[in-house]
Structure 1
Amino acid sequence: MKKTVLITGTSSGFGAATANYFAAQGWNVIATMRDTRKDQNIGKSENILISQLDVQDKNSIDKAIEEGINQFGNIDVVVNNAGYGLFGIFEGASREAVQAQFDVNVFGAMDVTRAILPHFRSKRSGIIINISSGAGAIGFPMASIYSASKFALEGWTEGLRYELASLGIAAKIIEPGGAPQTSFMSRMGDEGLAIQQIGDYLPFLEQIGKVYNGMQGTADADAVEKVVHAIFEAATDGTDRLRYSPTDDIKPILDARRNTSEEKYQAFTNTIFLPK
């Protein structure tokens, strides 16, 4: 029997590439997105079902899961990929903007997971794969709200995995770095336009903008392919491995975060992010 994956946020980027890759490997794919008119990046195939799902709309979540099970008889893996980055100085972000960031990146993934778990429990199997970020382990300036949402996603996933393991269900995390081929950075900039600009921060903004331009230039050219392969590995390797960090650009700072002392980590990141 073919296995089936449900993926959120498949209109572009990692989501679209992941949907097409799983389908090419012979999986049934439930490719979900907020607006199904934006399905141009999804291949047309009998084993792909395009379904409307907005992670901020619980009814659409339930409907997409029901449609997928009716179409393919089963769901084996859920990839919580839908998300965006709020980029800007924290002080300039309204409470509503922060709430929206968490509604999508955290509560949306939680609602999708909560909705699929009865199905997974009934068969004592299933895999939840949550798409985090290097920013889920590292607090980045001008992305403190985004980092906070991804820290929350990772903390929740890590605690959740123990609960689900008792039922034969796995929970896993993917931590990509930059991906110049996706629309994420441009959307990050668009979302940040809603953040109030505060003049006192302008010198820092100019400096950190140069830092990020340089970092974007070092992003893995094949980042999307690496991330997609990591998602597929997480879905098929049969292990209880929690984290997958597939892109090389983020590895030095992740290594400093996890494998050195706090003092050495701060000294390293200070050279990158603190005002000169």
Structure 2
Amino acid sequence: MKTIFITGASSGLGKATARLFASKGWKVIATMRNPKKETELNSLDNIHILELDVTNEASIQKAADAAISIGPINVIFNNAGYGLTGPLEAYTEEQITRQFATNVLGVIRVTKVLLPHLRQNKGGLILNTTSIGGLVAFPFSSIYHATKWAIEGWSESMSFELAMHGIKIKTISPGGIATDFMSRSLDIGNHDAYTSLFNKWLASFNNADSPLQFSSPDSIAQVVYDAAIDDKDQLRYLAGTDAIATYNNRLKVGAEDFRRSITKGLFYKD
């Protein structure tokens, strides 16, 4: 029985992935900040729940030690993260620091702590949830994009040093996911100098013409599962029809024309 270690398993993609892998006969180590609030995963077979705050180094080490004591880990799924939207001038220092601590340093630190375990087992796979926002950029998400582009670049660089130990690394880049991302998992900053345009940007999430259309968590979890078992030498996996269409459009028209199309009003139609 193979084992997957998942961060951010309390909701959305993390929870859907935990359910799917467990249903496929995998042992699942589902981690989250508040295990006492979990009422679904703890009733399913093959799932072990551990407390983990990816912004706390002691918590990471404790969860890693507990996970390894359960048995060999085959796949690490770095999924914990959240969105931050708004103009740069609106963000507090705490918001910026917390975004990087969760979306970037959390991924790096969890991987670093568990990497010796994978090396000792002479193989394994690291999966990182990035976003279509790690491959393209939209307005009012500069810090979020910075974190996701960081993980894309970090993952590509890591692929070289991991290969010598038989370890693979892959990124999962979803578009919109129909979860509570826009409420529970989204931090917002606003500034008077940008209010009008920013409000139009937020309204675009409910626009049928927006390139960001929401896929179910289960459909994105299937991409995660496929990436885990396909044994391909492939770094990036787009997930969701909107992510695929958006990225293909960027490749087709070129990065500069794609950027200019947004500037001309892709999301700001009256």
Q: TM-score range by the shorter chain?
A: over 0.9
Superimposed CA distance per residue, residues 27-61 of structure 1 (whole angstroms, 9 cap, x where no aligned partner) = 00100001111212315244211001110112222
Describe the shift of the 1:97–1:222 C-alpha distance in structure 2 as closer, same or farther (beyond 3 A): closer
**Corresponding residue for 2:55?**
56
Give the conservation status (yes or no) of the 8 Å contact 1:77–1:129: yes
1:25 Cα offset (Å) = 0.4
- Which of 176, 181, 185 matches 2:182? 185
Give the conservation status (yes or no) of the 8 Å contact 1:177–1:247: yes
- Which of 261, 266, 269 matches 1:272? 266
Describe the shift of the 1:211–1:130 C-alpha distance in structure 2 as closer, same or farther (beyond 3 A): same
1:77 and 2:70 correspond:
no
TM-score by length of 2: 0.93
Give the conservation status (yes or no) of the 8 Å contact 2:103–2:148: yes
Alpha-carbon distance in 1 for matches of 2:44, 2:269: 52
**Corresponding residue for 1:25?**
24
Give the conservation status (yes or no) of the 8 Å contact 1:135–1:147: yes
**Corresponding residue for 1:34?**
33
1:213 and 2:213 correspond:
no
The 5 Å alignment of 1:133-172 reads: 133-172=131-170
Amino acid at match of 2:247: L
User: What secondary structure is seen at the aligned counterpart in 2 of 1:127?
Assistant: strand
1:153 Cα offset (Å) = 0.9
Describe the shift of the 1:132–1:238 C-alpha distance in structure 2 as closer, same or farther (beyond 3 A): same
The 5 Å alignment of 1:227-266 reads: 227-266=220-259
More helix by share: 1
- Which of 159, 165, 173 matches 2:171? 173
In the TM superposition, structure 1's runs of 4+ consecutive aligned residues that sit over 3 Å from their partners are: 215-222, 273-276
Give the conservation status (yes or no) of the 8 Å contact 1:85–1:187: no
Amino acid at match of 1:146: Y
**Corresponding residue for 1:199?**
192
Alpha-carbon distance in 1 for matches of 2:241, 2:45: 35
Give the conservation status (yes or no) of the 8 Å contact 2:78–2:107: yes
Describe the shift of the 1:222–1:200 C-alpha distance in structure 2 as closer, same or farther (beyond 3 A): closer
1:251 Cα offset (Å) = 2.3
Matched residue count: 269
Q: Which of 222-231 and 104-113 deviates more?
A: 222-231
Describe the shift of the 1:46–1:209 C-alpha distance in structure 2 as closer, same or farther (beyond 3 A): closer
- Which of 94, 97, 102 matches 2:95? 97
**Corresponding residue for 1:16?**
15
TM-score by length of 1: 0.91
Q: Which of 207-216 and 246-255 deviates more?
A: 207-216
More strand by share: 2
Superimposed CA distance per residue, residues 36-94 of structure 1 (whole angstroms, 9 cap, x where no aligned partner) = 112123152442110011101122222222222222x2000000000011121111102
1:128 Cα offset (Å) = 0.4
Amino acid at match of 2:251: R
